[in-house]
Structure 1
Amino acid sequence: MSSSETAAPRVLLVEDDRRLAEMVASLLVEEGYRVQTAVDGQSGLHCGLTQQFEVMIIDRGLPVVEGLDLLRALRDRAVVTPALVLTARGALADRVEGLDAGAEDYLVKPFEIPELLARVRALHRRHRAATVSLPIGARTLDLSARSVVGGRDEVVLSARECALLAVLARSPRQVFTRSQLLEFVFDRADTVGTVDTYVHYLRRKLGRDVIDTVRGIGYRLGTQ
C-alpha cells in the first residue's frame, strides 16, 4: 500500500460468519476503506503477516485458529496494527482476556453498525498517530515498532534514530539546526556532534537521500 495521505486505509476483517463479513466489508468500503477478508484464523494469520493494514477486526470464535490465539500470534511476530475484537462473550473477564491478548478495543455482538464504524475510525486515527509518511520511496516510519516499512525490507531503528527521523518527517520542509535537533531528541549531556553521528547512522541504514544537509544551517528530511 502507498503511504501517501490519499491512499485508502486497509482493514483486515477476520470473520467466519460470511453474511456478517460481507455486510461489514460493504459498509467499510462505503466509508472509504479497502477490506481484506479472511474466514478462519489460519488465513487471517497469513494475511496479517504478509500484508500491511491500518486496522484489524478479528472475531473471537474463529475456526482453525481461535481469534485471541491469532491476535497473540500476530503480536508475538511484532505486528502492531490496532485490533478490534468481536465476540459474543460480554463478561468482564472475557473483555480483560481480549485486551491482555493485545487488542486495543473490544465489541460485543450484536453491535450497532454506527458504533463499529466509530471504533474503526478511532483505531485508524491511533494508527496514523503512530506512523509518519516519508516522501522518499513511499516509505512509512512506524513509531511504535521503531521501523521503516514500504521498501523491499523493513529497517529497524534504535530509539534515538527513530526519534530523530520522526522530528524531521513531521516537518518535512523545515530546516532544523543541530542545536534544535539536539534539544528535541537528545540528552543534555550530548553535543551537536551526536546529531551528526545519528544522521550518519540513518543514512547508512536508509540511504544518503533520507536526510539533506543544508550547508551553514543544519538538516531537513530528504525529498528524492
Structure 2
Amino acid sequence: MRILLIEDDLDMSAAISRALSRRGFQITLCLDGHTALSKIREQRSDAIVLDLGIPGLDGLHVLHRTRTLNIHTPILVLTARGAVGDRISGLNAGADDYLGKPFDLGELEARLRALGRRGMQANEHIRCGRLRMDPDTGAFFGDDAPLDLGPREAGVLRALMDRPGQAVSKSALFNQAYPGDTQAQTEFVEVIVHRLRKKLQPHGVEIVTLRGLGYLLRAVR
C-alpha cells in the first residue's frame, strides 16, 4: 500500500515510516499542510495518515479541502487530541478512521489495511446488468462500449446507478440533472428519462416508473 504520512513530529514520523516500511508499505512523508495538499492533488495514495496539529494549514483544513476537491482517498486521523468532540469534528470533516496517540503500531497497520480494502471496493465499477459505471471518471459503458450521454443524462443515470433496483424520487433526479437551476422544472426529468430509455434498451437495462415514488433502474432478463 502507498501511504501519505502527514506528520510534523520528526521522531514520530520517522518511527512510523520505519515500522510501516518494514511491513511492506510505501511511505511518502509531508511535514506541513500546504505541502500535504499539493501531494494529495499530485499523487495517488491508497490511504492517508493525517495529524491534526501540523503547521501551515492544520489537519482539519487539509481534511476539508481534500474532500472539497472530491478526492476520496481513505484518511486516518492520527492525533493526540483524544476528546470526543475532536473525534467528531474529524469524522464530520471527512475522516474515515481515528486513532489517538499513543497508539500501537500493529493496530495502525491493521486499520490501514482495512481502509485499503475499503478503498479498493469503493473503486470497483458499479454495475447493473450489462451496464457499468467507472466511479473514478463517471463514464458509463454498455456491453463495454462507452455510452454517449449528455451531462444531465449522466447525472440522472448516476443517481439511479447508485441505487439499482431501488426507487429514486423525481426530485432527487432533478437535483442531479439541474443542480442550483431555479428556472428548470421537475417535469424536465421525464424528458431525460425518455432519452435514457432509448439509449439503455440495447444493453439490457430499463428504467421503470413507480407512480408516486419515482424511478428505478433494473436489468432486463
State the shift of 1:51 in Å. 1.2
Q: Which residue of 1 aligns with 2:92?
A: 100
State the shift of 1:36 in Å. 1.1
State the shift of 1:198 in Å. 7.9
SS of structure 2 residue aligned to 1:60 = coil
Q: Which has the larger radius of gyration?
A: 2
CA contact (8 A) 1:161 1:198 kept: no
| Overall identity of the aligned pairs, in % | 33
2: distance between equivalents of 1:50 and 1:197?
39
Q: Which residue of 2 aligns with 1:32?
A: 24
**AA matched with 2:23:** E
Select 2:66's aligned residue among 67, 74, 77.
74
Shift in alpha-carbon separation, 1:67–1:192, aligned structure 2, 3 A: closer
State the shift of 1:185 in Å. 10
**AA matched with 2:3:** V
Q: Which residue of 2 aligns with 1:160?
A: 157
CA shift digits 1:123-171 (9 cap, x unpaired):
10110010137xxxxxx943xx6647xxxxxxx964636987x9xxxxx
Asked if 1:87 corresponds to 2:79, the answer is yes
Select 2:15's aligned residue among 13, 16, 23.
23
Select 1:59's aligned residue among 51, 58, 64.
51
How many residues end up aligned between the 2 structures? Answer: 160
Asked if 1:194 corresponds to 2:199, the answer is yes
CA contact (8 A) 1:15 1:38 kept: yes
The TM-score, its normalising length taken from structure 1, stands at: 0.60
Shift in alpha-carbon separation, 1:80–1:109, aligned structure 2, 3 A: same
**AA matched with 2:78:** L
**AA matched with 2:20:** L
State the shift of 1:72 in Å. 0.6
Q: Which residue of 2 aligns with 1:13?
A: 5
**AA matched with 1:44:** A
The TM-score, its normalising length taken from structure 2, stands at: 0.61
| Structure 2 gap ranges (5+) | 126-132, 140-150, 169-192, 205-221
Q: Which residue of 2 aligns with 1:206?
A: none
State the shift of 1:62 in Å. 0.2
Select 2:33's aligned residue among 41, 45, 52.
41
Asked if 1:111 corresponds to 2:103, the answer is yes
